[in-house]
Structure 1
Amino acid sequence: MSIENQNIKGLTSDQVLESRRVHGENVLNFKKESGLWFALKNLLKEPMVVLLLVTSSIYFITANYDDGIFLAIAIVFVSAISLYQDSRSRDALAKLKIYTHPNCKVIRDGEVTEIKTTEIVVGDSMMVEEGTTIPADGVIVHSNDFSVNESILTGESFSVYKNPDLDNSTIYMGAMVTSGLAIATVTSIGLNTKLGKIGKSLEDVLDEKTPLEVQINNFVKKMVVGGVLVFVLVWAINYFKSFNVLDSLLKALTLAMSILPEEIPVAFTTFMAMGAWRLMRMGVVVKQMKTVETLGSASIICVDKTGTITENKMTLAKLYTFKNKKIISTSETFTKEDKKLVEISMWASEPIPFDPMEIALHESYSNHFLNDERPNYNIYHEYPLEGKPPMMTHVFQNNNGNRIIAAKGAPEALIKVSKLSAMEKEEVQQAITILSSDGYRILGVGKADFEGDNFPEKQQDFKFDFIGLVAFYDPPKKNIQSVFEAFHKAGINVKIITGDNAATTTAIAKQIGFRGYERSISGDQLMKLSPTELSKTVLEKQIFTRMFPDAKLKIVNALKANGEIVAMVGDGVNDGPALKTAHIGIAMGKKGTEIAKNTASLILVDDDFSKMVDAVGMGRKIYSNLKKAIQYIISIHIPIILTVFMPLVLGWVFPNILSPVHIILLELIMGPTCSIVYENEPMEKNTMHQKPRPFTASFFNRKELTTSVFQGLMITLGVLLTYQYAVSQGFNESVTRTMVFTVLISANIFLTFVNRSFFYSVLTTITYKNKLIPIVTGITVFIAVLLLFFKPINQFFQFEILPISLIAISVGMGFLSVIWYEIVKFIKRQKMKTIN
């Protein structure tokens, strides 16, 4: 009973255009996007911008116009960089939202068409089926076994049954279809829907703060508090030396600028947004920022069999007819009993099929029956897919009162409710074993007779005649074995969780070389385990069969309780709870239901599970590069802070060697390095051969933080030794300042290269493809040359043109203060070779 038999033609192309002209598009605009004005307002709240404004104002008040103008220009540059990064982030997220817009089905010009939900119009005949979100308000004109969850509107989580003959035949935008299929005429779209009128918006999950973002913000706040305390201390020291309020304030502001790590939150936002955008380009839509963080920590991935391991291309391959006691291939000639089995299994399917197995059954019926009876029969009564194991029953009747009662479902369910002797059950079980061992997916088929309209409350109460078994073949994906092998090398354990039986799943798993295919457990067995047994079993077993929602949820929670970071793949309505509970819920973009896609935090657009390997690699790369960027920021800030602080506190001959203009110049050079260069770094070659990183509460472990601090202290040592060397040689303040600044600039350049990897040599990382490295390095060197040799700029910054020998000493000191870490990396690699 395909769509052609429903006599529903839908709108024509011209009618669609006219309806859109009159009623507009199907969009809900509850909140406006954060635009340029919003970004500018946020910019004025940035501590660095506030410091620059204050410092620039003091320079103007004290008639130091040159420095004041420079800082005003610096404000423009800092603002431009911040706005550029904010724009990149917002553009990436905007593109992401376009990809997360769901599609819907409508009937237009007599054809079923898939369109974006925003394109649906008033008057459209929309088709909604199990697992989808209703895209607009409408009135049902046809339905079968149709129920919806309207909790988004009513707050009630139970499902509501609806059909054209009931008073509640209206369906509403935002409700979830929990079973069956319906065709409805659209009556309202966008803000005119019930959802639109009550103003309930689906909040954008991309805006929520992630655990890592909270950690980073807390770190920055601590630095700001520390900066304020040191600022007050330095102001007091300078004031009691000079009794000049504004001069001492300027010197204190210099230190405050050096302490403030404003690049860190910018780097975090950029890395996460651009990471999500890069994943989207790979065909992986990340709906939540925290997913980007978590990807690199995933230790277990739970996958479904159908559509993940297999192609989800169900072909009716074999039949077992109970009367014939024989298994045949569908390529053989059908007997009368074989045709009857196909016919009954078709009547047990939905009239308008959307499940691949039901589509195959309808196609087989069309191929073997010249006289199509489907237009003559209507659904008279129905029972949804339910039970453990599940089954479903349909009652059809024609105008003459002839009735067909057909059921299909898990073979065990049909055997249980059929009139079979113990010996007959054994015969059927043998057929199931033969078919399952070859990896076929099997359904049992039954038929019943019933007079009157007083139907049993449960479908299991019918007295069924067992008709036979229909077996479908869904071949494994060609690349699935290499995908599982990649996960294994990355230290990620893969577990199969499926509703299919153990024999079929084991056969498919064995075909693809799945590790641990012989270790399986069923849903019923799992539910009987004690908490202690469950905790042990979920780690030991690799295949979980005949799973239902409660069992799936129990597995995910048990794995999480064991400290695992769990990724869960699901595509059905019943996968929602497990997808939501898992650290990373993964839905398929094409075959996944809207419920699954709404619940999941990650969507594989093309249903290609191999993209998860790339996604995990990307997650690890993003996290690693963000860590490199922040370690770079910490390492380069320490010498700036101490170069400002130490000469002042220790009373050296030139206590204020760096002024605000020098600090802000260094900030302008460092900013692009951390948030642009490191974000563009490629994945290191050993990334996917490491174990998942522990999902700990802190971003850095003690060893990593110690490394960054020690790198910073070594650069500080190089800077202060150069300072003392210049003083010992009797050089004036301008020469000393120039040498100190040259050490800082050169150390910054060398640190950029050395910290591209904390394991591999700089000779290895220099071959990594990152087109921004030469650009940013070239600009930095060009600025340094201007500072050293172009007299107007040289004099403005109170530098002096140095002889080549002093430049060589300064650059050499910058090189030595950083390059020592290459020895540490060499020792690491040697230790790794010894272990291996």
Structure 2
Amino acid sequence: MTYNIPEDLQGLTEAEVVVSREKYGYNRLESVKKDTWINLLIDILKEPMLILLIAVSLIYLLIGDYGEAVFMFVAIVGVTAISFYQDNRSKKALEELEKLNEPLSKVIRNSKVIEIPTFEIAVGDLCITEEGNLINADGKILHSNDFSVNESSLTGESFSVFKDNKSEDNQVYSGTITVSGLAVFQVEKIGKETKVGKIGQSILNIKEESSPLQIQIRNFVKGMAIIGVIIFLAVCIFSFIKTGDFVTSLLSGLTLAMSVLPEEIPVAFTTFMALGAWKLMREGIIIKRSSIVETLGSVTVICTDKTGTITENSMQLKHVYDYHSDKVYEQQEFSTKELSQVIDYAMWSSEPVPFDPMEITLHKVYEQTQNSDKRKEYQMFHEYPLEGKPPMMTHLFENEQKDRIIAAKGAPEAILNVSQLSEEEKNKIRGEIKEFGEQGYRVLGVAKSNFEGNDFPVKQQDFTFEFLGLLVFYDPPKEGIKNVFQQIYDAGIKVKVITGDNADTTKAIALQAGIKNNTPAVNGSEIAASSKEDLMKISENTTLFTRMFPEAKLEVVTALKQQGDIVAMLGDGVNDGPALKAAHIGVAMGNKGTEIAKSAAALVITNDDLEKLVVGIAAGRRIYANIKKAVQYIISIHIPIILTVSLPLFLGWVFPHIFTPVHVIFLELVMGPTCSIVYENEPIEKNAMQKPPRALTDTFLNWRELTISIIQGLVITAGILWVYQYSVDLGNDEVKTRALVFSTLIFANILLSFVNRSFYYSIFESFKNRNFLLVGISLLVLIFLLIILYVKPVSEFFSVTSLTTIELGLVLMVAAVSVLWFEIYKLIKRVSKK
């Protein structure tokens, strides 16, 4: 966009920016604290699993078992490395998101208008702010054009204030909103020194609330930790009473504590959320907080704007209706003399430097059809911004000879209401409006007025207007939008259209776009007049909300939330801010969205493509499902570890310490990456977007799901303990029995990781979803198992011995039976659904 800015406003040079930054710093409310790798490492070493490992290592050192101590120290390095890799990966992903979430500001430097990240604004910079922008520093206005600002964030007063460089208060303040026009201001204060910075320091100390899923997972892990402490004490006491050996009893207790503690789950949750947000960023979906990913999968209602979201926002002027000749003109007739006045006043009622697609079109049509271009002769000296229910706007221009032009345009109903027409004439024009609206056209009314003197009415509606005609725009639905809405409906999500347009146009466009609707449209005035109970019913049953204003949009979003819906609100304008903020997920458009909309939203779609929201919802569902799979896998595989460690001890079997800390920590090293790396990489299941959304209040793992995981774990335990007893019955020693039991558990772990990829589709169907990480880690675990069994120094260290081919086949068969029975359960589930 070109800006009509005085040539003497040249801005800072690069050298001056450096000097200013050295003196005043960056435009931030707080100094950025970056986590160093040392901080990350210290946080990791505070983890309970690491503390247990360190304790076991020290015990081995004290009793002179140096081999086990060295292994434990290696395990500490291994667990720390995995956690460090995951934490660092998550941190980098979140840093990338933060960079993209940083708003841009326009400044003049070296006589050029450039965009810079807001935190780079320096004291002395010349900043440009225009309609819809958030002002990001305090400063003094040097130049303006019909500039008004909403300072409610500082004053609490919601009305706009017109300002220029000659005003008594010619200052602008960070955190306020540009309502109309344009201003260039010189930055005087940034960051903590701004007015809002001094007021808002306490805001920085407010912690972000935990999501329901975070709370549920935290409580689950706490519960498991408490169980671990109880079992640890029970085993220590029981073993000590039985053997009188304190060190062995302590090691047995610590072994069991390690087997109970599900430390992989919090790591998995953080990793899934951060990497999920990062992957969406690469798709063109910028998420403000990684926890939003979880909420995305639960969306039950999408409230969408019409213009630019459902439609192309191309705004082609298709017809013009001239009131005086009572005739509708086509595009090829726009140069007709009869239309001169309508097109003339339509242009004057637009912004002098247009950025709205309709106003850009009107300026172009004016250029193409008018004999003489008078735009340079006239200056706007007064403006009534777009307001009212329904809305209209009025511009007042004057030339050097003091000739005036007073032009208005807006919703046809608004223009008719202020025009000097009889009711019969109004009804006739309403018939024309309805006919255009039913074809999906967007209609604006145009009027003119005359006024002597400068004692202008407070409200634009108080002028005496002469009705001139109608502008008929066509904004066609986006290509492929029908398919997008079909995907949304298939996913069990409702769609509501919330627009400022009239009912007929909205209904026609909704039909063309494939939006399901069998109820009459409701307008903003009806919403405002409704009781709380009526509003709940209206918001639930209505699809099309028309002639909506900010308060009405907010009312609808709030009513839907109160009914338990998870609401995604799509918007792009200043007026959408309250509703975007109130929705569970506010979605702003990256291209045509105002800075206000983007700052209020939780998610920004960079290319304004509604299909990206479907991609986001699918990602949310995939991530939630994969976290559940990971947790269910952890529960299922922990049960046999816990019971194999504890039952031989409690039941007084011949080999009470079949697993030592060495074996448990090896299994933990296997389970950690499987849980947090492999399952995070698992693709979405093919039926995920054909299911209704889950309720956000649902328990993370319901009793049925938990029961399935427990049964899986118990069946694996039964298989392992059968191998134990079978080996004892054959007269095998402890080393051979341990090798058989350990191998069975490793094979069961690998098979379980494949089986639990889906709790509905067969293992063969899941293979179609390629996950090279799962295959890679499974092969790596098998190689490690073979090394443990067949490389003598390693097998001696693990206190196992090599197995024959028949023995290896036996443990593989037992593992397969104890895990693959679940495929029969899934088959029954699939058959019963048909």
Report the TM-score when normalising by structure 2.
0.95
1:775 offset after TM fit, Å?
1.0
Match of 1:710 in 2: 711
Judging changes above 3 Å, is the alpha-carbon distance between structure 1 residues 160 and 725 closer, same or farther for their aligned structure 2 residues? farther
Partners of 1:106 and 1:428 in 2: CA distance:
47
Quick one: distance in 1 between partners of 2:314 and 2:749? 56
Match of 1:438 in 2: 439
Q: Which position in structure 2 is the counterpart of 1:760?
A: 761
Determine if the alignment matches structure 1 residue 17 to structure 2 residue 14: yes
Counterparts of 1:16 and 1:204, CA distance in 2: 36
How far apart in 2 are the matches of 1:421 and 1:571? 38
Match of 1:513 in 2: 514
Indicate conservation of the 8 Å contact 1:348/1:394, yes or no.
Answer: yes
Query: Once the two structures are superposed, what CA deviation does each residue of 1:419-444 show, in whole Å capped at 9, x if it has no partner?
Result: 11122212321221232222221211
Pairing of 1:267-346 with structure 2 (within 5 A): 267-346=268-347
SS of the residue 2:470 aligns to: strand
Kept after mapping to 2: 8 A contact 1:10/1:109: no
Distance in 2 between residues matched to 1:547 and 1:621, nearest whole Å:
35
Per mean C-alpha deviation after superposition, the further-off stretch among 171-180 and 183-192 is 183-192
* Contact map agreement 1:137 1:170 (CA 8 A) in 2: yes
Q: Deviations over 1:495-531 (max 9, x none)?
A: 1111100111112122233221663222222333344
Identify the residue that residue 730 of structure 1 maps to in structure 2: 731
1:489 corresponds in structure 2 to 490
The structure-2 alpha-carbon separation of the partners of 1:337 and 1:182, relative to structure 1 and needing over 3 Å to count, comes to farther
Which amino acid in the other structure matches residue 47 of structure 2?
Answer: E
Q: Distance in 1 between matches of 2:830 and 2:87?
A: 39
Give the stretch that moved more between structures: 750-759 or 387-396.
387-396
Distance 1:747 1:80, change over 3 A: same
**Alignment correspondent of 2:648:** 647
Q: Distance in 2 between matches of 1:102 and 1:5?
A: 24
Q: Distance in 2 between matches of 1:88 and 1:203?
A: 25
Q: Distance in 2 between matches of 1:169 and 1:317?
A: 43
Q: Could you list the per-position Cα deviations for residues 617-652 of structure 1 after superposition, in whole angstroms to 9, with x for gaps in the alignment?
A: 111111111110110001000111111111111111
Kept in 2: contact 1:121–1:186 (CA 8 A): yes
User: What residue number does 1:37 align with?
Assistant: 38
Amino acid at match of 1:20: V
Q: CA deviation at 1:183?
A: 2.8
Structure 1 range deviating more: 582-591 or 550-559: 550-559
Aligned equivalents of 1:780 and 1:413: distance in 2?
73
- The Cα of 1:204 is off from its aligned counterpart by 11
Q: How does 1:656-671 map to 2 (within 5 A)?
A: 656-671=657-672
Q: Which residue of 1 aligns with 2:479?
A: 478
* Structure 2: tracts of 5 or more residues without a match: none
Q: What's 1:819 paired with? A: 820
- 1:596-611 aligned at under 5 Å gives the runs 596-611=597-612
Task: Give the letter aligned to residue 230 of structure 1.
Answer: I
| Structure 1 contact 719–744 (Cα < 8 Å) conserved | yes
SS state of the match for residue 466, structure 1? strand
Pair 1:397–1:525, CA change in 2 (3 A): same
Change (3 A) 1:573 1:339: same
Q: Is the 8 A contact 2:27 2:121 kept in 1?
A: no
**Matched residue count:** 830
Q: Distance in 1 between matches of 2:240 and 2:543?
A: 71
User: How far has the Cα of 1:332 moved from its partner?
Assistant: 1.4
In the TM superposition, 1:184-203 aligns within 5 A as 184-189=185-190, 200=201
Counterpart contact for 1:506–1:518, Cα < 8 Å: no
Deviates more, 1:160-169 or 1:822-831: 160-169
How far is the alpha carbon of 1:77 from its aligned partner?
0.6
For the residue of structure 2 that corresponds to 1:331, the secondary structure is: helix
RMSD of aligned Cα (Å):
2.3
Offset at residue 576 of structure 1 (A): 1.5
Q: Which moved more, 1:237-246 or 1:675-684?
A: 237-246
2:354 matched to 1:348?
A: no
Confirm or deny that 1:429 pairs with 2:430. Answer: yes
What do residues 305-339 of structure 1 show as CA deviations (whole Å, max 9, x unaligned)? 10111011222232112212111123314234422
Q: CA deviation at 1:116?
A: 3.7
Determine the structure 2 residue equivalent to 1:214.
Answer: 215
Give the Cα separation in 2 of the matches to 1:148 and 1:262. 52
Task: Tell me which amino acid in the other structure corresponds to 1:277.
Answer: W
Please name the residue that 1:782 is paired with: 783
Residue 6 (structure 2) pairs with residue 7 (structure 1): yes
| Residues 139 and 173, structure 2, Cα contact 8 Å, conserved in 1 | yes
- C-alpha distance in structure 2 between counterparts of 1:107 and 1:329, whole Å: 43
Q: What SS does structure 2 have at the residue aligned with 1:139?
A: strand
Which residue number in structure 1 is paired with residue 139 of structure 2? 138
The more displaced of 262-271 and 117-126 is 117-126
Cα offsets for 1:266-290 (capped at 9, x unmatched): 0000000010011111111111233
Residue in 2 that maps onto 1:550: 551
TM-aligned CA deviation for residue 110 of structure 1 = 6.9
Q: Relative to 1, partners in 2 of residues 1:9 and 1:568: Cα closer, same or farther, differing over 3 Å?
A: farther
Give, in whole Å, the separation in 2 of the partners of 1:538 and 1:489: 21
Indicate the residue corresponding to 2:233 in structure 1.
Answer: 232
Q: Pick closer, same or farther for the CA change 1:710–1:42 going to 2, 3 Å.
A: same
2:168 aligns to what SS in structure 1? coil
Shift of 1:62: 0.9
Moved more, 453-462 or 32-41: 32-41
Q: Could you tell me which residue of structure 2 aligns to residue 372 of structure 1?
A: 373
Residue 18 to residue 813, structure 1, CA distance change in 2 (3 Å): same
2: distance between equivalents of 1:333 and 1:709?
75
Is the partner of 1:294 in helix, strand or coil?
Answer: helix
Q: SS where residue 346 of structure 2 aligns? A: helix
The residue type equivalent to 2:671 in the other structure is M
Q: Determine the structure 1 residue equivalent to 2:246.
A: 245
Shift of 1:182: 2.3
Distance 1:507 1:342, change over 3 A: same
- 2:332 is paired with a residue whose SS is coil
Q: Is the 8 A contact 1:762 1:822 kept in 2?
A: yes
Aligned partner letter, 1:19: E
Cα 1:626–1:733 change in 2 (3 A) is: same
Deviates more, 1:494-503 or 1:693-702: 693-702
One-letter code aligned to 2:626: N
Kept in 2, the 8 Å contact 1:30–1:199? The answer is no
Q: How far, CA to CA, are the matches of 1:330 and 1:202 in structure 2? A: 55
Say which SS state the counterpart of residue 444 (structure 1) adopts.
Answer: strand
How far is 1:208 from its partner?
Answer: 4.7
Q: Which letter maps to 2:279? A: R
Tell me what 1:63 maps to: 64
Letter in 2 for 1:546: R
What is the distance in 1 between the residues matched to 2:644 and 2:584? 44
**Conserved 8 A contact 2:20-2:124:** no
TM-score (norm 1): 0.95
Which residue number in structure 1 is paired with residue 622 of structure 2? 621
Greater shift, 492-501 or 510-519, is seen at 510-519
* Structure 2 counterpart SS, 1:453: coil
Bigger mean CA deviation after superposition, 328-337 or 353-362: 328-337
Superposed CA deviations along residues 69-108 of structure 1, whole A, max 9, x for unmatched, are 1101111111111010000100110111111122233456
User: Which runs of 5 or more structure 1 residues have no equivalent in the other structure?
Assistant: none
Distance 1:278 1:131, change over 3 A: same
Match of 2:568 in 1: 567
Cα distance change on mapping 1:693 and 1:501 into 2, 3 Å: same
Deviation, 1:157, is 6.3
Q: State the AA in 2 paired with 1:571.
A: D
Identity across the alignment (%):
51
For residues 138-157 of structure 1, the aligned pairs below 5 Å read 138-150=139-151
| Pair 1:636–1:470, CA change in 2 (3 A) | same
CA contact (8 A) 1:105 1:115 kept: yes
Could you tell me how far apart the structure 1 residues matched to 2:675 and 2:681 are? 10
Superposition pairs of residues 686-697 of structure 1, within 5 angstroms: 686-697=687-698
